[in-house]
Amino acid sequence: MSTAEYWAELVTVALLGTDRREPPAPPPGGFADLAADLQPGATAAGLAQQVAAVAAVRRAAFTPGAPADVLQPPAADVRPVTSPAACAAWQKVVADWPVVEDEWLLAVVRGGWRLSPELVVPLLARHRGDEVRHARVRVAAGPLGEWMVDWSPPLGRTSRKALPPEELAARLAHLPDLPITPDLAPLVERIGPEGAREVAAALAGGLSNGSLTVANRAVLVNLCARLHRSVLRPVAAALLRVDPSRPSIGLALALADLLSLRALLLDQLEPE
């Protein structure tokens, strides 16, 4: 029996009176669960209860779904769940350094992890308007992500223009480009101890001598978000040694925090 049909039956009984006609049995689901709480024989009270419940549902334009015990669970996912520490790193990323969220998600996928359940809905909702990021979240979430989108379509992608499958697949596997000035761009390629010394000299030295200032913050953040992982901790340590009396000390500390966060999340999710 549909909600509309049940409502019509309830209205008929209310007009005729419960002494002349028995109320209809509530359909399975929320209405039946509500009726089960009544004392036996409370016919009039039961009718009033069901009328109120169905009226509320009709006003909300909502039809109760199937009982929870008949919902099919998502398919199994054998990948290990991201650790509490990795989940905490994501929280810091989105709060302080969203520029590295793409890297965090890619590290989850490349490291063979699946998203911890409490992150699935926030990430699906956060990236509904971005086809590439939303697809990356669904890969990281696995069957649970697909199950959640089926159960709650608003969690699905809302961007209208779909990319060709080949382009989408290529973009899923790579970090997006970030604007970096030509004089700093070569630092992205530096690796190992020698590369770390060169990057540290450029950044810490520039912040110390005034050639790099807070006016360069956006470019420096992009650069630090793309430096090779082998130089992250040494460069962060060099930035922490910038003279506290220098005007750019706040920027140096912020960049050190970004580099340390990247090193941490990569060690957690994608060990070398």
Domain span holding position 168:
84-172
131's tokens: 């086809």
Q: Are residue 49 and residue 12 in the same domain, yes or no?
A: yes
Residue 76 placed within a domain = no
Integer Cα distance of 81 and 268 in angstroms: 12
End position of a domain, from candidates 70, 99, 120: 70
If asked whether residues 92 and 63 sit together in one domain, one would say no
| 157 and 217 belong to one structural domain | no
Longest CA span, the chain: 94
Q: Assess if residue 222 is contained within a domain.
A: yes
Q: pLDDT per residue over 24-75, tens digit each?
A: 877 777 777 767 767 676 677 777 777 887 777 776 665 555 565 566 889 9
Q: Say yes or no: 168 and 90 in one domain.
A: yes
Tally the domains of the chain.
3
100 and 59, same structural domain?
Answer: no
> Which of 254, 252, 246 is CA-nearest to residue 97?
254
- Per residue in 178-193, pLDDT (tens digit) is 999 999 999 999 999 9
Q: Any idea which of 52-66, 92-106, 109-123, 151-165 has the lowest mean pLDDT?
A: 52-66
Mean pLDDT of the 261-271 span: 95
CA 178 from centre of chain: 22
Query: Cα dihedral sign for 207, 212, 213, 216?
Result: negative
